[in-house]
Every structure is written in structure tokens, then in C-alpha cells.
Amino acid sequence: MRNVLLHLLILSLFSCKSSPSQEASEEFIKGVYGNPGTLLKAGYSFDSLGMNAVFVRSGSLNREFYDNSKKQGVKVFVEFATLNGKEYLIDHPDAWPINEKGLKSPPADWFMGICPTHPGFKAFRADQLKEILRDYEVDGVFLDYVHWHAQFETPEPLLPETCFCNRCTGAFEAAIDTVIPAETIAQRAEWILKNLDPQWRKWRVEVLNGWVEDMGEILKSQQPAAKLGVFHCAWYPSDFDSALYRTLGLDLTSLAERVDVLAPMLFHHMTGRPTSWVGEYVSWIGQTLKVEEGGKLQIWPIVQAHNKPGIVSPEEFRKVMIEGSKFPASGIMMFSDQSLVEDPEKIRVMKELYSKERPK
């Protein structure tokens, strides 16, 4: 009898243990990006809209919003504007990205990047992230603007060559153990691009990888269960003369090794793409990175409802939400909250789609 009971106990223990796929399985993420508090002020509640997550800019995060979100049972993910340097440059002009002519690279449309090797700026961002994590227990942090100075959210992207400041070229020189035989910044830039272009591009990617690793280490050391995500330019490797890698400094395979979630910025209207491109890109990135259901890496696209430039109709919004939710996506969010408040029909579309397990 004792043996029978022991056998039954062992069987019950194994039957209660979840399989790896069950343990990895998580609820499909359905969220809104920007300042979702706008929806609350307009009289909506997150749970009534079918949302289970908010993606809030760090500047819009406050205790009232956080507590309200948690009471409604939604996950709180914080956007962290990593390499957006506009405000920092006011008092720290030495952090301005320098172009191949030795001049300050002008703002790229509305965006102003920064030199990623500036130690003071990195310390500044690290302190900001630590402060957020001290004040709030978050479900994750999504690094934004993780790229060298450029502007890609437009049909005609602005893709300057940066950064050739003495700090950057000196670090590059040390990394490859080579003396650059030139004196002025313009001369050094010309020599690098002519003689060491592949090494230069690879080094730039490694600089950004270092940022992701360092910010990720801060996050995981303080809140190990929180997810590390990255919003990134949704270009194919060959687009714009391989600008994703060459100019922005992004290698998606490298990023995938360092984060929990990739959030491709699938802003179809801003970039002059058809709605079908959203689903095509999601499929492509899944195949390229070998994303598996229940695997470590997750794909949570961000799609456009925002009416700038032009107008994104409710039906168009519906299409990109459905396209962006296709496998291997395990979550989706839309930009922005304000566009929902301005158009109740878009609210209705989102609520209808979010009432389902996976928007379709």
C-alpha cells in the first residue's frame, strides 16, 4: 500500500509540473503607446477597452497614473528615450554628433541625436533609469532612439554620417589597434571611410550594443523579472543602401541576443508603406531571427493610428492592427493615445480587436 501511495504521489508531482512551453506561454499583450493617461482623462478605463498593457513615456509616468493602471490590472511598460540628446546638448555642446566634414550635424527634422560615446551623457541616462526603477516596480523598460543620429520616420529619411568627433575616432582607433594617419576631423573621417569602412560600421554597432547591455544590466539588477525591450527602425537590411546597419548602427541579430522584446516601429503612413507591409515585416523578422512560440525572444510591433502626416482611417487602423498581430507577434501596441481620443471610431476598432485573445 505504501508503494502504491508513493507511486501516486510521484505521478501527481509530474502531472502538476508545467511543460517548458506552458511555462513560457504568456498572455498576448494588447497596449497603447504614448501618454495613455489621456484615455483616463477622457473618461475611458483601460480594462473596459480590452487593454492589458500600457507603454508610457518616462516623462508622462507619475504615481497617480501608475496606481490607476495597476488597479485596472494592466502591465506598465516604460519607454526610455535613450539616445535622444536634444535637451542634454543645451548645456553639453561637446556631446553634439560631428559629421564627416568636421561640423556639427544639424537636427534631422524634429529629432536631434547625440554622440553615443559621451561618458557624461551615458551616466546621465543611467541615473535617470535607476531613479525610475527606485520609484516604480515596472513590467518592463523599452529603450527608444537606440541609433546614431538620423531620422527614419519619414518617406525620405535623413541619414548623416556621424560621429567623427575626436572622442569617437580615438575610441575606434584604440578598439582596432590602428593609428589613423590624419590630423583634422575631416581628414580622419575621410581616411576611415576610405580605408576602414567595414571595421568602422562594425564598431558603431558595438557601441550601441554596449548601451543596450549597460541599460539592461541596470534593469535586471534592480528588477530581474522586468522585460527589456527595444523600439527599432523597421527596415529591411538592404533598404536605403543598407542604412539600418551602415548609418543607424543596428544589427537586429545582435539586438535579439540582448533583449527580451523587439518592437519594430511599423509606422506605415509615416514611411509611405502599404498596410500589407506591416504583416510582411512581422513575418520576415520572425523568420530571420528564428522566433518560436514560447521562446525567449518576443516580437511586439507598434503600429500607427496617428494622423500625421495625413489621415489614418479607422479601417486602415484596423488593417495594421490585424497585420501586426500575426505570428510570430506575441503582443501589439498602437501609437498614439491622442489619435484614439480624437476619433471614437478608432476607439471602437481597438476595443473590438482587443476583446479577442489575438486581434484578428
Task: Indicate the pLDDT class of residue 154, thresholds 50, 70 and 90.
Answer: confident
> What percent of the chain clears pLDDT 90, i.e. is strictly above it?
89
Q: Determine, yes or no, domain membership for 236.
A: yes
Phi, psi for 151 (deg, rounded to 5): -135, 120
pLDDT at residue 24 is higher than 70: no
Q: Determine, yes or no, domain membership for 171.
A: yes
Provide the mean pLDDT of the chain. 92
- For residue 56, the Cα-to-chain-centroid distance in whole angstroms is 12
Q: Determine, yes or no, domain membership for 348.
A: no
Per-residue pLDDT, 108: 87
Q: How many domains does the chain have?
A: 1
What mean pLDDT do residues 12-36 have?
A: 63
CA-closest candidate to residue 144, choices 84, 61, 227, 96 = 84
We report the CATH number of the domain holding residue 162 as: 3.20.20.80
Q: Determine, yes or no, domain membership for 114.
A: yes
CA-closest candidate to residue 110, choices 153, 164, 147, 148 = 153
The helix or strand, by DSSP H or E, that contains position 65, with its residue range, turns out to be: helix 63-71
304-320 per-position pLDDT tens digit = 999 988 899 999 999 99
CB atoms within 10 A of CB 119: 9
What mean pLDDT do residues 45-65 have?
A: 96
pLDDT at residue 1 is higher than 80: no
Give one DSSP letter per residue of 29-52, joined into a string: EEEEEE-THHHHHTT--TGGGT--
Contact by Cβ (8 Å): 99, 161: yes
The mean-pLDDT minimum among 2-16, 88-102, 152-166, 231-245 falls in 2-16
Task: Indicate the pLDDT class of residue 105, thresholds 50, 70 and 90.
Answer: very high
Q: Determine, yes or no, domain membership for 252.
A: yes
Phi, psi for 196 (deg, rounded to 5): -135, 35
Q: Determine, yes or no, domain membership for 91.
A: yes
What mean pLDDT do residues 238-247 have?
A: 98
How far apart are alpha carbons 266 and 280 in whole angstroms? Answer: 11
pLDDT at residue 126 is higher than 80: yes
pLDDT at residue 181 is higher than 60: yes
Q: Determine, yes or no, domain membership for 167.
A: yes
What mean pLDDT do residues 258-267 have?
A: 98
Structural domain that includes position 117: 82-259
Give one DSSP letter per residue of 276-321, joined into a string: HHHHHHHHHHHHHTT--TT-S-EE--EEE----SS---HHHHHHHH
348 forms beta bridges with none
Task: Indicate the pLDDT class of residue 19, thresholds 50, 70 and 90.
Answer: very low
Per-residue pLDDT, 53: 98
What mean pLDDT do residues 134-141 have?
A: 98
What mean pLDDT do residues 179-201 have?
A: 97
Q: Is the pTM value of this prediction over 0.75?
A: yes
pLDDT at residue 2 is higher than 80: no
The one-character DSSP state at 59 is: G
Task: Indicate the pLDDT class of residue 25, thresholds 50, 70 and 90.
Answer: low
What mean pLDDT do residues 16-23 have?
A: 36
Phi, psi for 266 (deg, rounded to 5): -95, 65
pLDDT at residue 222 is higher than 50: yes
Q: Determine, yes or no, domain membership for 296.
A: no
Per-residue pLDDT, 26: 81
Burial string for 168-197 (b: 16+ CB within 10 Å, else e) reads bbeebbeeeeeebeeeebbebbbebeeebe
Task: Indicate the pLDDT class of residue 355, thresholds 50, 70 and 90.
Answer: very high
pLDDT at residue 15 is higher than 70: no
pLDDT at residue 20 is higher than 70: no
Cβ-proximal residues to 222 (8 Å cutoff; 6+ apart), any chain: 130, 133, 134
